[in-house]
Structure 1
Amino acid sequence: MAVDERSIRNHLRPGVNRIAVQVYSPGYSHFAHVHRGACGLIGWLELDGRVVLTTGPGWKVRRDASWSDRVDRVSIYGTGIEDRNLGLEEAWVEADASAWDAVRVVQEAEGPIWHRLRPRMTALPVEEQRALDRPWQMRVGPAATASDDPHSDLRKVFSLSSETPAPALLPRGTSAIWIFDLGESRACLGGVEVTASGGEQLLISYAEKLREGDLLLSDPATYCRMRPTDRFTLRPGRQVLEGFTPRGARYLVFALEGGGVSPVPRFHVRLPVTPVEERPLPPLDPVLHGVAEICRRTTLNCLQDGFVDGVWRESSLWLGDAVAQDWALRAISDDPRPLLFAIDMAAESADAEGFLPSVLPGEVPAYAVTDYNFSWVELLAGCVTHPGVSAPEAVWQRHWGTLTRMLERMATYQGPDGLLRNPPGRRLFLDWSPMSRAEPNLTLNLRYLHALRLAAGLAEKVGRTADWAAQAGDLAQALQGHRAADGWRESPGGEAASQLALALLILTGMVEGPEASALADRIIARSLDLRDAALPGVPTLASPFMHHYLFLALQQLGRRKDIHAIIAARWGRWVREGRPTTPENWSIDFPDGSACHGFSAHPLGWL
């Protein structure tokens, strides 16, 4: 668990001071380290290196009744919807706390719960507050009766409204909607200053893309169950409203129920940014420069408490995604902390069998991905070339036990034919490509082979004894069964090898010389053909994410010009379309497709 440190020197006054802290638990979550039942606080005050105050029995606590304790999920990924009644708000900062309840001490500061407490490893984000004064769109229509689902209410109000400027005086029974375009998907928090008569509803929501020119409000009936709308019930008078939890969006939506409100509300947004000391990009031709810029923007926007995959839908640290995101970030920064954070978090959350979590900090059973274990080996190996990691051997030694246990456990899933079968209840790999998942799977086993060879290299560099090189040799021999008279197969007797599998054959040295060059030609031709759908007689197209492995293979053959040509064609298409950030797939027309995904920004490293 990480602890944040903040200076309060500018807040202290001569004489007696009181410290008050607001704590909020946004319910439970499928993908984040949030406890459903309770939240808590631990803290201490240091003065000249001396601890002069700690949390403990002398503290008082009071439930803030303005925050609803009915906290439904935002989505299958996110935490809770915020529903707040400002009429019940108290001036807690300056309140007389003598009548508040005594705190319940779950455990003293020296107890075992806190034994892994440590300073934050990654940079503390800083916030910019920006005024929003030019709406992208304004709409007016009849108000809707409030229900238990604020997002459903917003969708109803939106469907009943039409595009028109909001009047200065908004009568009861009417709702106005203001939509602001941030220009790109960002982690953000919307806010408003408004005068109310009391009891009106304000909805603040977050959206990421348009469909046929209209704002696409997410539909909770789709697979992500997105409902990113928070609700505020207003008190009489002037007030400033903000949520507690940053979300992610390109478009901020404010829907205000009328009640004689005047003057026009004033809107703002908070934009948390992780500070990074950047290097400038090298000179590039105009197309590649445009690609580098959208990749740079995506990389920085998907850098929060370490890497996150996408700011709007998930904001989760996926172990596999970190490979591509680290490759992009190191192109502009020597900061190794996001990389080391991902490595450490994965190791600390390994399960009893030795497998690593796919979503950090803890495993999510529905998204247990086998090849993300191999991604972790790639992250370890990447330390040796990272300009900010001064002692990669120390990182390897620290995690040697985790590496050994994971690979020992993985070996138990190799069948009599020497090929890896996917452990029960896990996904082979997580990717949007429609390539075959039939087993024994060529792509999964090639990822395993690559990890074994990387691990063997680490062992040799630190003088450790391991049989991973021999295991890799045996696996390579077993994989010859995927070779047919007319080419490689994803599974013996199955469909032809995908573009990704062909790249992994080159990367792992399974093919060399003229055969490797011929496979590279096929890989390049498929990527330069900008048709995204499956095509007869050609390898299944890899996703933007997995193109990182295509580029690794092409780099191994010295074909850097071809890497740049593919980037110019496929990522250049996004530049020509005017996209500010890199989406998660070649098409994101599906309902919850993300327009800003960190793993798709890896070309930044190749440029």
Structure 2
Amino acid sequence: MNGKYAGRGPARGYQRCWPYDVIDIASLLRIGHNWLAVEAYNPGISTFQYLHQGVAGFICAARWDDLTLVSDGQWIGRVDPARRWDTVRLSQQLNYQEHVDLHRDDRRWITARSAPTDWTRPVSVRPFGAMPWHDLEPRRIPNLGHEQLLYNAAVAESCGVSGEAWSDWRDIQAGWRLERQTAKWGKVASARYDPQDGVLRLPGSGAGNWHAVVLDMGRPGVGTFELAVEAAAGSEVVDLYACEWLDADGGPHVPGPGTCCEAAMAGRVRLRRGANAFETFQLIGHRFLTMIVRNSDNELTLRIRLRHSVYPLQEAGAFESSDAVVNDIFRICKDTQRACMLDAYVDTPWREQAQWWGDARVQAWNTFHLSDDARLLERGIRQIATQRVPNGLTYGHAPTMAHGCILPDFSLIWCLTLYDHYWQTGQPNLFAELWPEVERVLAYFDDPAHQANGLLKHDPRYWLFLDWSNLQKEGVPTLLNLWYIYTLARLAELAEAVGMGDARQELDNRREAVTALAMHHLFDERSGLFRDGILPNGEPSETHSIHNQTLAIMSGLAAESHATMWSQSLLPYLRGDAIEGALPSSYWVTYIYQTARQAGEDAVVLDHLIRHWRPMIRFGGCSEWFVVDDTTPQPPTTYDGTFSHAWAAHPIYHLMGSLGGLVQTQPGWRAVRFSPAFVQVDWCAIQVPTPHGLIRSAWQCNDDRITVELTLPDGVRADVALPTVAEAGVTGTCRWNVPVGER
């Protein structure tokens, strides 16, 4: 609006009920004439964010007093002449690389005060409601933020000869990968970067050569790149390359072909003579941005900023302790979580930006310790419910064109997130509204065709995920059946909460029947552990993985053997000992932590957490798998993952729960348990947002006493378990002194 950024959208959704944005532009308006400019993008393909249905359009409406503004056949537009249309995709899941020639578009139309003469009216004007846009729906979440960030520092520099046919590359990353193989990287010497204003000065590369500088954000970020050049000669080409970590030589990591979902996070801008100003369109997740200037005869001065386009979470949660490493772990987890909150909870802002629902469940738990905002979870629950298999299963992420990403276990996770929403908000109405969709999911699992001896079996038509590990997934997997039992129990609680007595009884009956079968066929009485399942040949598995013991404890199964499960599986794993069976990923370990903390094993959880997350600190974000430790400064060359995966950001709430001592015990945070673990640090202070207000806790170890304080908002009570202190139902502000010897 009048050349000033107003917002971007719409949020991902389905065209039949496309979400509309409401944008407040009052602060951007002028008295008299105002100029509205919109840049729209349609790739003509479906992605991991939305389904393309063959057409593209634009609709806009506003009313101020007696002025009505409606997009119609009088509006003018054009296809952007500056963009190349045969580039490669940013990844298998995303749109296309942006190659832009500013000789062909000076972009003055964005700030113009009169209509361009070479623009035309729409070829076709369709009435509102024409298919595929049958209807519109509210966005239901805030518009993305657009804070402009500067990079912290220039950290590496190199130069070289441009590759063969460099000017015509369709894939900037593929060409850059070849150049990168022979490049020598060192500290920044000839280039100059000012982090105060984002100005980078690069010496001339010479015709046919390149000069590159790596800029470091210091943490995962996601957004669009704003580039400005005051005095270009008109021959320069600026290539942008985004990545998440640097290789051992200090240069940017470039994945090899066939890896990382063919991620190619690169783009190109050809500068015209004089002043240039350009902003990319696609949201790119990264930590490091490599600026590669080609064909420059003289020093080039350019300004680069990132428009950080994340969900505008109003953070109220906080964590601080006396240990710098623990604080850094919390920080990288929070930074990773924030970068994975766009118009949906996404797995990573770098490679996919997909709303994977197993990831989203953990991310919602993370978020609820930073802000009392359940809107992103609620919107995702509705979107997952909208894209389904005819037999009732949900897609593993949605909206999506990935028909191979149907994960039966994620359909159960979707049911569980209805419970998570209720647990956070105290309101069960979303479950009542979506109960018919829950019944469709359950109907799939009730079908005898998907069972063997009454237990759930692997359906070869779909991807049974369970975890990134070598768990048994063929035949009758125990973990799938335990998730089913656990889900039925949570759904029964929801049915009780909304007064659906018959449904509650049916769910309980179903759970009891499957539990009996699981105990008979899947529990190994000789070892006291759950075996991994029944093999396709009908023989029982001989392995007993930690996943199954954890979920059995969570579900209350084989209670008499929980001590065995602890001593032979969970505790040895957390202590770093070798254990039987598959090992959990950085995602699934959150369930082990949760189970161990409920048993009072906070100290061993914190030791494991610090041991595995401390090596991630130098990467600024959380890794998709456990791939680095204190002895491996770089991930293995075969690593195909990310360092911006918020399914591994769960130390946010584990640190708050263990060191901060706060664990929610009733829906809507009406009650909590307060029992901080006085380990690892000398003091800790946290605050957790709830629907009732902030809960604050703090403790400090002094010479002979530990001072403890807890402040609860109205509507929240706490059961307190401290050494020498046991109190139930406390409210308001409380203080205690605990002997140091009890630590």
Query: Structure 2 length normalisation: TM-score?
Result: 0.75
Amino acid at match of 1:380: L
Alpha-carbon shift at residue 160 of structure 1 (Å): 4.3
Work out whether residues 154 and 255 of structure 1, in 8 Å CA contact, stay in contact via their aligned partners in 2.
Answer: no
Equivalent residue for 1:551?
A: 593
Aligned mates of 1:550, 1:156 — CA distance in 2: 43
Alpha-carbon shift at residue 352 of structure 1 (Å): 2.5
Aligned mates of 1:219, 1:38 — CA distance in 2: 35
1:374 to 408, 412, 418: 412
2:292 to 237, 248, 255: 255
Amino acid at match of 1:130: L
1:158 to 180, 194, 198: 180
Equivalent residue for 2:93?
A: 77
Equivalent residue for 1:462?
A: 498
Aligned mates of 1:445, 1:520 — CA distance in 2: 21
Equivalent residue for 1:227?
A: 264
Equivalent residue for 2:546?
A: 499
Q: What is the DSSP-based 3-state SS (H/G/I as helix, E as strand, rest coil) of the residue aligned with 1:266?
A: strand
Equivalent residue for 1:542?
A: 584
1:312 aligns to 2:350 (yes or no): yes
Work out whether residues 208 and 216 of structure 1, in 8 Å CA contact, stay in contact via their aligned partners in 2.
Answer: yes
Equivalent residue for 1:397?
A: 432
1:123 aligns to 2:138 (yes or no): no
Per-residue CA deviations over 1:471-516 (Å, capped at 9, x if unaligned) read 1111111112123334432123224121111101111122203x11
Alpha-carbon shift at residue 116 of structure 1 (Å): 4.3
Q: What is the DSSP-based 3-state SS (H/G/I as helix, E as strand, rest coil) of the residue aligned with 1:126?
A: coil
Amino acid at match of 2:68: V
Work out whether residues 319 and 330 of structure 2, in 8 Å CA contact, stay in contact via their aligned partners in 1.
Answer: no
Equivalent residue for 2:121?
A: 102
Alpha-carbon shift at residue 71 of structure 1 (Å): 3.9
Question: Any unmatched runs of 5+ in structure 1?
Answer: none
The structure, 1 or 2, with the larger RCO (C-alpha pairs under 8 Å, 6+ apart) is 1
Equivalent residue for 1:568?
A: 610
Aligned mates of 1:290, 1:131 — CA distance in 2: 21
Task: Select the structure that is richer in strand.
Answer: 2
* CA distance 1:31–1:579, shift in 2 (3 Å): same
Per-residue CA deviations over 1:354-378 (Å, capped at 9, x if unaligned) read 2112112236222211111111111
Aligned mates of 2:242, 2:118 — CA distance in 1: 39
Pairing of 1:317-466 with structure 2 (within 5 A) = 317-362=355-400, 364-386=402-424, 389=425, 392-412=427-447, 413-464=449-500, 465-466=502-503
Aligned mates of 1:148, 1:297 — CA distance in 2: 33
Amino acid at match of 2:509: A
Work out whether residues 132 and 266 of structure 1, in 8 Å CA contact, stay in contact via their aligned partners in 2.
Answer: no
Alpha-carbon shift at residue 310 of structure 1 (Å): 1.2
Q: What is the DSSP-based 3-state SS (H/G/I as helix, E as strand, rest coil) of the residue aligned with 1:87?
A: coil
1:174 aligns to 2:196 (yes or no): no
Aligned mates of 1:350, 1:51 — CA distance in 2: 43
Per-residue CA deviations over 1:24-70 (Å, capped at 9, x if unaligned) read 2245354121538543211112214x771111222222111101222
Equivalent residue for 1:203?
A: 239
Query: Structure 1 length normalisation: TM-score?
Result: 0.91
Amino acid at match of 1:68: R
Q: What is the DSSP-based 3-state SS (H/G/I as helix, E as strand, rest coil) of the residue aligned with 1:186?
A: strand
* CA distance 1:279–1:527, shift in 2 (3 Å): farther
Amino acid at match of 1:191: E
Work out whether residues 172 and 258 of structure 1, in 8 Å CA contact, stay in contact via their aligned partners in 2.
Answer: yes
Per-residue CA deviations over 1:318-352 (Å, capped at 9, x if unaligned) read 11111111111111211111111121111122333
Percent identity of the aligned residues? 24
Work out whether residues 238 and 269 of structure 2, in 8 Å CA contact, stay in contact via their aligned partners in 1.
Answer: yes
Q: What is the DSSP-based 3-state SS (H/G/I as helix, E as strand, rest coil) of the residue aligned with 1:224?
A: helix
* CA distance 1:132–1:321, shift in 2 (3 Å): closer
1:246 to 283, 287, 292: 283
Aligned mates of 1:29, 1:259 — CA distance in 2: 38
2:512 to 464, 473, 485: 473
Work out whether residues 407 and 464 of structure 2, in 8 Å CA contact, stay in contact via their aligned partners in 1.
Answer: yes
User: Aligned-residue CA RMSD in angstroms?
Assistant: 2.5
* CA distance 1:7–1:277, shift in 2 (3 Å): closer
Amino acid at match of 1:370: P
Aligned mates of 2:240, 2:319 — CA distance in 1: 41
Alpha-carbon shift at residue 573 of structure 1 (Å): 4.9
Alpha-carbon shift at residue 296 of structure 1 (Å): 1.8
Work out whether residues 60 and 70 of structure 2, in 8 Å CA contact, stay in contact via their aligned partners in 1.
Answer: yes
Alpha-carbon shift at residue 8 of structure 1 (Å): 2.8
Aligned mates of 1:259, 1:137 — CA distance in 2: 19
Equivalent residue for 1:4?
A: 21
Alpha-carbon shift at residue 201 of structure 1 (Å): 2.3
Amino acid at match of 1:470: N
Pairing of 1:25-40 with structure 2 (within 5 A) = 25-33=42-50, 35=52, 38-40=55-57
Aligned mates of 2:512, 2:90 — CA distance in 1: 48
Equivalent residue for 1:148?
A: 170
2:651 to 596, 603, 606: 603
Equivalent residue for 2:730?
A: none
Alpha-carbon shift at residue 133 of structure 1 (Å): 7.8
Amino acid at match of 1:549: Y
Amino acid at match of 2:354: S
Per-residue CA deviations over 1:207-233 (Å, capped at 9, x if unaligned) read 111232432112233251111111122
Per-residue CA deviations over 1:102-157 (Å, capped at 9, x if unaligned) read 21446322446445422322222222223448411111111223222211222233
Count of equivalent residues:
596
Aligned mates of 1:558, 1:581 — CA distance in 2: 28
Q: What is the DSSP-based 3-state SS (H/G/I as helix, E as strand, rest coil) of the residue aligned with 1:303?
A: coil
Q: What is the DSSP-based 3-state SS (H/G/I as helix, E as strand, rest coil) of the residue aligned with 1:314?
A: coil
